[in-house]
Amino acid sequence: DAGITQSPRYKITETGRQVTLMCHQTWSHSYMFWYRQDLGHGLRLIYYSAAADITDKGEVPDGYVVSRSKTENFPLTLESATRSQTSVYFCASGLTAGASTDTQYFGPGTRLTVL
Amino acid sequence: KQEVTQIPAALSVPEGENLVLNCSFTDSAIYNLQWFRQDPGKGLTSLLLIQSSQREQTSGRLNASLDKSSGRSTLYIAASQPGDSATYLCAVLTSGTYKYIFGTGTRLKVLA
């Protein structure tokens, strides 16, 4: 089915472990985004990508690594997980052209707990 | 730096009431503003997108308005129902960027 999917939906890990969250979209959108959602902060942008092999930092990038070798995939890696990275992570994609019609479509989220 | 604020943080109303959720933003140079709904433990569902040149958008019982000059948007929900209970998020796409800035949301509870 067309859309944007995330895996896993739920993940429990331990401090110091590496974790990769996957995001896949079937629309061939050029832009993809990773947000985290925490109580009291709303959604905050971690990283985004304008195209394959082009990525840039968002508001809260520390402790995260991204890559985009294919247009449809945008994995987010926590190289050494910390308790402060316990959060709900949302991936989004969009055809962004710098216009008022721009929008983003959000995945279902991954709930990550770091013990 | 764009900042988005939503008031109130939480709201509880009896079924059938008309209600207004507020969103304010500091930089009026925007491409658009979008209202989302989020159910507990779920993802984001887009409700309405208002382009910078538009004043309002309507979908069913929902009406969203935009006043760029004052940096404000409102989401009006008519004849509220228990099924409207959710968190409502406002997000702004600032001109010259590709990043939505989100408010912290209004948690709505409609009592039967």
- Model confidence at A2, pLDDT cuts 50, 70, 90, reads low
* Token code pair at residue A61: 């990038």
What value does the CA radius of gyration of chain B take, rounded to a whole number of Å? 13
Q: What is the mean pLDDT of chain B?
A: 94
Percent of chain B with pLDDT over 70: 100
- Chain mean pLDDT for chain A: 92
pLDDT at B27: 93
Phi, psi for B41 (deg, rounded to 5): 70, 10
Residue A1 scores a pLDDT above 60 = no
Test A90 with B105 for CB contact under 8 angstroms.
no
Q: Per residue in B81-109, pLDDT tens?
A: 999 999 999 999 988 887 889 999 999 99
CA distance A102 to B2: 17
> Does A101 score more than 80 pLDDT?
no
Identify residue A3 by its one-letter amino acid code: G
Determine contact, residues A54/A66, Cβ cutoff 8 Å.
no
Taken in order A27, A51, A66, B40, is the CA torsion positive or negative? Answer: negative
Task: Choose among A26, A44, A25: nearest CA to A35.
Answer: A44
For residue range A74-86, list pLDDT tens digits in order.
999 999 999 999 9
Q: Which region among A25-29, B23-27, B83-87, B95-99 has the lowest average model confidence (pLDDT)?
A: B95-99
Mean pLDDT of B23-46: 92
Tell me if residue A35 falls in helix, strand or coil.
strand
What is the pLDDT confidence band of residue A41, given thresholds at 50, 70 and 90? confident
Return the closest-CA partner of residue A46 out of A85, A17, A98: A85
User: What DSSP character marks residue A85?
Assistant: G
The dihedral sign for the CA sequence B75, B60, B28, A33: positive
Render pLDDT for B5-19 as a digit per residue (tens, 0 to 9).
999 999 999 999 999
Find the range with the poorest average confidence among A45-49, B71-75, B96-100.
B96-100
Q: Which residues in A have their CB inside 8 Å of a CB on B?
A: 31, 33, 35, 40-45, 48, 50, 58-59, 90, 94, 96, 98-109, 111
Q: Which residues are CB-contacts of B112 (< 8 A; sequence separation ≥ 6)?
A: B15, B82
Residue B40, pLDDT > 90, answer no
- Reading the block at residue B19, the tokens are 């209600």
pLDDT greater at residue B60 or residue B1: B60
Residues of A in contact with B104 (CB under 8 A): 40-42
Does residue A104 contact residue A33 with C-beta atoms inside 8 Å? yes
Q: Is the peptide bond before A8 cis (omega within 30 degrees of 0)?
A: yes
Collect all residues of chain A within an 8 Å Cβ-Cβ radius of residue B105.
Answer: 42
